[in-house]
Amino acid sequence: MEQQHHHEPLLVVNNLTLKHQGAAATTTILRDVSLELRRGEILGLIGESGAGKSTLGNAVLGLLAPGFSQTGGRILFEGLALNELSDKQRMELRGRRISAIFQDHTASLDPLMSVGSQIVETIRALDDGLTSRQAKSRALELMQRVGIPDPALRFRHYPHQFSGGQRQRIVIAIALAGRPDIIVADEPTSALDATIQKQILALLRNLTDETGVSVMLVTHDMGVISEIADRVIVMRHGKVVEQGATSSILDMPAEVYTKDLLAAVPRLRLPPASSPTNDVPRSADPQANIVPQTKLDQNPILRVKDVTKTYAGRSFPWLRRGPQSPALRDVSIELVRGSITGIVGESGSGKSTIGRIVAGLETAGRGSLDLNGRQFDISLAGKKNGLLGQIQMIFQDPAMSLNPRMSIGAALEESVWFGSRGSPSDRQDVGEMMDCLGLPRSLLLSFPHQLSGGQKQRVCIARALLANPSIIVADEPTSALDVSVQADIVRLLKETVSERGVSMLFISHDLALVQDLCSEIYIFRDGVVEDAGSADFIFSKSQNPYTRRLIDARPGRFTH
């Protein structure tokens, strides 16, 4: 029976216009948006921040935030105009017919309720006729379905006892509990590591194929789209730019914006599949994998040796469960003067911890740090170890690393003052720096919230450079930015390093980004250096299975 309906659209959006009434002005979020969602398909909505794609998802769910109002057009679900329904009718549709998966798996679940109860309460809210025993057995079935091992045991566990990927599986199980026709998935994998992301996307694809549910997949990531979407709608500034089958959009984009979007995605360039086996495998010792010539040629500006860091447990460490694994174990890295070295790993691999230790923001239990031939005591943090200021950091979220009450000019001046360390000849000019980084000087009097994400990150880079550092540690500096902005920032970092002779540690989870940027790469896993070598070695020659897995896990067909 389902086959008959297969090509009839389940959801039709007709000339939808949505406005947001802000404190100061009314802005149009969606303008004349029209689309169709068919049964059993995954429709990708892609666009950069501000494109209105999430708002569209919320409108379909009937969960628009206060201030948003629909001023034109209609959303038809099986011929039913959603905006004409009462709140109660909308509530009855949610979960049963249209459900949702959100980006943040941690925030989506109530921390105080066991996951089993959260699934059961959903099942019972949607189907009054079930006894609690029936609801529980259905919940266990759903947990099994989404790939939670040992559901009977896990049923009683709380969200914090699950890994990120498993939490998102639970969220998917809840979304499926009412056997909905549509799932609105808003960035369902953006908060997950690449390998986990791949598994969750595969799960979504399987569920769509098996149950015939339709998925409206909202994302900013072309990789995710190319992995599972049947059709794509490209959105920009609240309008539909282009739509079509995924393969045709990816291979033959008609619009300039789509082409730009595709071009901005960092891609892995891999040699033909046969090449790894052609080379003689190198020694299994990761330290020996570092291409020897760099070691001979240059004397590294930074040499970190055998760093071990263990996080102290709670105030009663003898009560903790099981042995504690250190955050870092015997980690050694070197940074060649005037180069960019990449540190890559998944979350929890210790990649940010080593960055923070190098910057003097955290202490390490054991190990040595040698900067410009001088030894520093890394068991001390901050001012005491003398590192502070010689190494500057650029953080992931520029919005959170600028003081909201300080003007851009004041923030930069502070850095100049700090960087000159009392000698006037070392003072750099703020205006010149802004010109170099493509920031209009008129921004000096502005405050962070008045700047775009890309501008804020440029300010952070300027702030780091003005302090005259020997090394910059950049911890995921582009992860919070749109892809097109991301490309600009990467270019800027590259130029900065080559023109100013600064050295940089670039920490990222994204291999493709690192390949573009770095000459040396360290792969971190569970607090140890799993693999290391020149970019060329890592991508084409390394035999390390974990490295191979990371390279393979990147979603998308861009590697072809």
Partner 1 sequence: MVSAIIGRLSQAFLLLLVMSVIGFIGIHSVGNPVFNLVNAETATPEDIRRATVALGLDQPVWHQYFRFIGNVFTGNFGTSYIYHLPAFQLVMGKLPATLELAIVAMMIAAPAGVLLGLLAGRRKDKPVDRTILRLSVIALSIPSFWLSMMLILIGAILTGWFPSGGRGPTGVFLGTEWSFLTLDGLRQLTLPALALALPNVALIARLTRSGTIEVETQDFTRFCQAKGLSPRRILFRHTLPNISVPIVTIIGMQFGGMLAFAVVVESIFNWPGVGKLLIDSIQLLDRPVVMATLTFISIAFVALNALVDLFYVVLDPRTRRSA
For binding to partner 1 (CB under 8 A), which residues are involved? 61, 63, 91-92, 94-96, 99-100, 102, 104, 107-114, 121-122, 125-126, 158, 160-161, 171, 174-175, 177-178, 184, 316, 318-321
Q: Kindly state the smallest distance separating residue 197's Cβ from partner 1, in Å.
A: 19
Q: Kindly state the smallest distance separating residue 318's Cβ from partner 1, in Å.
A: 8
Question: Of 167 and 456, which CB lies nearer to partner 1 in the complex structure?
Answer: 167
C-alpha pair distances (Å), 435 with each of 160, 429, 457:
47, 10, 15
Show the tokens assigned to 401.
């690393």
Q: Kindly state the smallest distance separating residue 204's Cβ from partner 1, in Å.
A: 16
Strands 68-77 and 9-21: antiparallel
Q: Kindly state the smallest distance separating residue 58's Cβ from partner 1, in Å.
A: 9
Question: Of 184 and 225, which CB lies nearer to partner 1 in the complex structure?
Answer: 184
Show the tokens assigned to 109.
């679940």
Question: Of 122 and 478, which CB lies nearer to partner 1 in the complex structure?
Answer: 122
C-alpha pair distances (Å), 326 with each of 42, 312, 338, 365:
42, 9, 31, 10
Question: Of 113 and 252, which CB lies nearer to partner 1 in the complex structure?
Answer: 113
Q: What kind and span of H or E run contains 222?
A: helix 222-228
In 10 A of CB 541, how many CB atoms? 20
Q: Kindly state the smallest distance separating residue 245's Cβ from partner 1, in Å.
A: 29
Cα–Cα–Cα angle for 435, 440, 441, rounded to 5 degrees: 80
Is there a contact between 473 and 391 (Cβ–Cβ < 8 Å)? yes
Question: Of 185 and 538, which CB lies nearer to partner 1 in the complex structure?
Answer: 185
Show the tokens assigned to 70.
């629909």
HEC-encoded secondary structure of 483-505: HHHHHHHHHHHHHHHHHHCCEEE
Collapsing DSSP to helix, strand or coil, 340 comes out as strand
Task: List, in sequence order, every residue forming a beta bridge with 371; answer none if it has no partner.
Answer: 302, 374
The one-letter code for the residue type at 506 is F
Collapsing DSSP to helix, strand or coil, 472 comes out as strand
Question: Of 106 and 195, which CB lies nearer to partner 1 in the complex structure?
Answer: 106
Question: Of 125 and 528, which CB lies nearer to partner 1 in the complex structure?
Answer: 125
Question: Of 111 and 323, which CB lies nearer to partner 1 in the complex structure?
Answer: 111
Question: Of 75 and 344, which CB lies nearer to partner 1 in the complex structure?
Answer: 75
Q: Kindly state the smallest distance separating residue 14's Cβ from partner 1, in Å.
A: 23
Q: Kindly state the smallest distance separating residue 67's Cβ from partner 1, in Å.
A: 12
**Phi, psi for 445 (deg, rounded to 5):** -95, 0
By the 10 Å C-beta count (0-12 exposed, 13-18 middle, 19+ buried), 481 is classed as buried
**Nearest-angstrom CA–CA distance, 491 and 498:** 11
Is there a contact between 187 and 103 (Cβ–Cβ < 8 Å)? yes
**Nearest-angstrom CA–CA distance, 257 and 263:** 10
Question: Of 167 and 458, which CB lies nearer to partner 1 in the complex structure?
Answer: 167
Q: Kindly state the smallest distance separating residue 112's Cβ from partner 1, in Å.
A: 5
Q: Kindly state the smallest distance separating residue 165's Cβ from partner 1, in Å.
A: 17
In 10 A of CB 50, how many CB atoms? 17
For the chain, the C-alpha Rg in angstroms (whole number) is 26
Q: Kindly state the smallest distance separating residue 235's Cβ from partner 1, in Å.
A: 21
